[in-house]
Structure 1
Amino acid sequence: MDQKIKILHVVEAFGSGIVDFLSILTSLEEFEYTILYSERELKISEIKPKFKDNIKFIEWEFAKRKISIYKDLKSYLYFSRFLRNNSFDIIHLHSSKAGIIGRVWGLFNKSVPIFYSPHGAPFARKDISFLRRLFFESIEYIASKLSGEVICVSHSESELYNKIGIKADFINNGIYIREPKLYPKNENQINIITVGRISNQKNPTMFNQIALFFNNNPRIKFIWVGDGESINKLYSENIRITGWLSKSDLSNELKNAHIYISTSLWEGLPLAVLEAMEHQLPLVLNKCVGNIDLLQEGKNGFFFEEQSEAIHNLFLLIDNQILRENFGEESFKLLKNKFNSDNMIKSYRLLYLQYKDSSSAT
């Protein structure tokens, strides 16, 4: 019997989106998986039940989100020591910190194929200065010349990398899709929902301002599923913050929602929006990288770039049940055709096998 290909997934930003992504990606039983992780807002005890029992989890000591020369050097040394003591056929790096440290290591270790998936380009951030974005862009460019292949999670993210001279391919994120069971919705209360970490990336300030506009209309309620450091920015009385939910509780919230809104400033390709599409929700999305792959204007929702546009688009959907239902059906069709887990898993499988075969031949 052939020995299984050993794959190491390295992730410093082990948050909800990447957790869900990796739980799908590691479902193929022909590979053996180890995840080197750094704990974020979710505890490892909450994360492990999402994965198969045969996945190995190793905590990555000293790996932190913020840039710190001292801690980053210690995390690199731990990473290097770990790989001296453990051999893998393929290394897949996730998010920018793991991407930089892993590709520096790869400069001195050319025998192992390395892939890097940004899950949201750091130089696409809108919450930092131009100079800081330029710094991140330069770091990404330098790291791309050291080692590894860049595999983005959406077409728009890969275009962003290619524009600055970094060769990048993409494999669309996908989710497990269940055939929808549609239930009659209460039209006396319109629920407008979003899902994600309450952080600057998700732009809770704009979400709050949009909700404030509707605050005097008791029929319209806003829901934020998630938690995070910017929770104090959500103070409009018509916003309900649920915290992080189980899969079944999240499904119930989406089932009872009428519209999905994303005020995100940048994305990779958001799994939360894919889950909304699975529940046949019309989309109102900020026009940013990652979001633009998921919406066909006027077919399954509307884009916006300004707060006033978002409010206008919400009005169009709030008062038109038939339009909401038509958009929702189109959301599901698009999801099924382009963003299903089967396509994603097959594409990564071919990628891994191709590079494993080529490295074995050299």
Structure 2
Amino acid sequence: MRKVLQIITRSDWAGAQKVMYNIVYGLKKYYSEEFEVEVAFGKENGMLIAELEKIGIKYHIINDLVREVSPIKDFKAYLQIKSLIKQNRYDVVHTHSSKAGILGRIAAKRAGVKKVIHTYHGFWGIEQYTGIKRALLILAERIAAKYADYLVLLCKRDLEKAKKWKIGQESQYKIIHNAIIPEERIERGLLRKELNIPDNIKIVGNVARLDRQKNPMRFLRIAEEVVKQRDDVVFVWIGGSVVEDEYGAEVQKYLQEHESLKDKAYILSFRKDANKLMADFDVFLLTSDSEGAPLVVLEAQSLGIPVVSTDVGCVGEMIGNQNVTSDVNKLKHLLLTILEKGKFNNYVLQSYEDFVALHVDIYKGDR
């Protein structure tokens, strides 16, 4: 039996954590006789822990593994990860997120691990910066790539970015599209009942953290323009602040100061039942500045909800390039068109079983 360690920086319940959880869940469900899987992460937040406990997965807390750059803590975290790997003699180490990805890959190879994999959940960690800081982050990823056997990209667009920045070699690249764990049929009506929204009112929504990358301000500005043209639409954002409490306060202030959005736009906090609330959306509006391959888009598609989005990450490959644009005005018109006509293409790139099987293939691979 092969021992697998998954490592991620934070233990909250956001996109990268959910993708990692989907891998772990699949290994446990379909390949429990071939793989023993464990997870390691920093002590911040901790919402992932309850989900792992539900399915009986052993986890390890790396006390000094934090999101912020801290040379002393980072070195301590590296030593803690390396010690954990040596102590448990893992056959495969699979890293996720920037900090855990760099420290984990180097520690794993130096501890003698046979197979080291890193998944890039988009490139926001690089793209949010310019100039020397971006150059240094690209350099760090180039160095870390030398300590991996495989680099998993979520789509062709991300693969092209890795090639452009000379991160890794083509022989290391593996595209594995995200997929979600199939759920039983979700009943509609929960969100409408909670917010007292009548059936004749259309709901445009998003489910995301309340931070700069997800750009809720753009969501609210589009809402302002749309409600000027239609009085039968409301906008609902589900998801609180995880990293930037101060920015979340700015969003709430903006909402309070714009009278036109009163009873037309709602900001809900983080909800574990977000997928059930989302079932009432008529259109899903993604307004992010950067993404990988967001699971929430797959969740919307599985519910039959049309998606329009900024042209970020893998989203164009997920929903069709005709439904993405970098122009805010065009995004508004795309949204209005779908509200009017209700027509959209529902792309399905990959099944959940295939998603898990592709990871198993690289865990077993000869490299």
TM range (shorter): 0.7 to 0.9
Per-residue deviation at 1:232? 2.5
1:89: which partner in 2? 91
1:77: which partner in 2? 79
1:52 aligns with 2:55: yes
Can you give the 5+ residue segments of structure 2 that lack an aligned partner in the other structure?
193-197, 256-260
Q: Deviations over 1:274-312 (max 9, x none)?
A: 0001011111111011212212144xxx21212211111
2:22: which partner in 1? 24
TM-score w.r.t. the length of structure 1 is 0.85
Change (3 A) 1:215 1:105: same
What SS is found at the alignment partner of 2:9? strand
Alignment of 1:87-126 (within 5 A): 87-122=89-124, 124-125=126-127
Q: Deviations over 1:51-109 (max 9, x none)?
A: 511x1011111011011111111111111222232211100011111111122224524
- Which amino acid letter does the alignment assign opposite residue 155 of structure 1? K
2:354: which partner in 1? 343
- Which amino acid letter does the alignment assign opposite residue 347 of structure 1? L
Structure 1 Cα separation of the partners of residues 278 and 83 of structure 2: 44
Moved more, 268-277 or 212-221: 212-221
Moved over 6 A (4+): 179-186
Change (3 A) 1:41 1:156: farther
Change (3 A) 1:233 1:292: farther
Alignment of 1:1-362 (within 5 A): 4-15=1-12, 16-27=14-25, 28=27, 29-30=32-33, 31-48=35-52, 51-53=54-56, 55-122=57-124, 124-125=126-127, 127-165=128-166, 166-167=168-169, 168-178=173-183, 188-216=200-228, 217-228=230-241, 229=244, 230-234=247-251, 235-236=254-255, 237=261, 238-246=264-272, 249-298=273-322, 302-320=323-341, 324=342, 326-327=343-344, 330-331=345-346, 334-335=347-348, 338-355=349-366
- Which amino acid letter does the alignment assign opposite residue 232 of structure 1? A
Per-residue deviation at 1:111? 4.2
Preserved CA contact (<8 Å) 1:96 1:122: no
2:258: which partner in 1? none
Structure 2 Cα separation of the partners of residues 104 and 80 of structure 1: 9
Per-residue deviation at 1:215? 4.6
Per-residue deviation at 1:45? 4.9
- What is the count of residue pairs matched by the alignment? 335
Among all aligned residue pairs of Structure 1 and Structure 2, give the percentage whose two residues are the same amino acid: 22
Preserved CA contact (<8 Å) 2:8 2:17: no
What SS is found at the alignment partner of 2:319? coil
Q: Aligned-pair RMSD on alpha carbons?
A: 2.4
Can you give the 5+ residue segments of structure 1 that lack an aligned partner in the other structure?
none
What SS is found at the alignment partner of 2:137? helix
- Which amino acid letter does the alignment assign opposite residue 206 of structure 2? T
Preserved CA contact (<8 Å) 2:93 2:113: no
Per-residue deviation at 1:137? 1.1
Per-residue deviation at 1:169? 1.8
Structure 1 Cα separation of the partners of residues 113 and 5 of structure 2: 14
Change (3 A) 1:115 1:318: same
Q: Deviations over 1:320-359 (max 9, x none)?
A: 2xxx2x41xx31xx22xx232111011111111224xx6x
Preserved CA contact (<8 Å) 1:260 1:276: yes
TM-score w.r.t. the length of structure 2 is 0.84
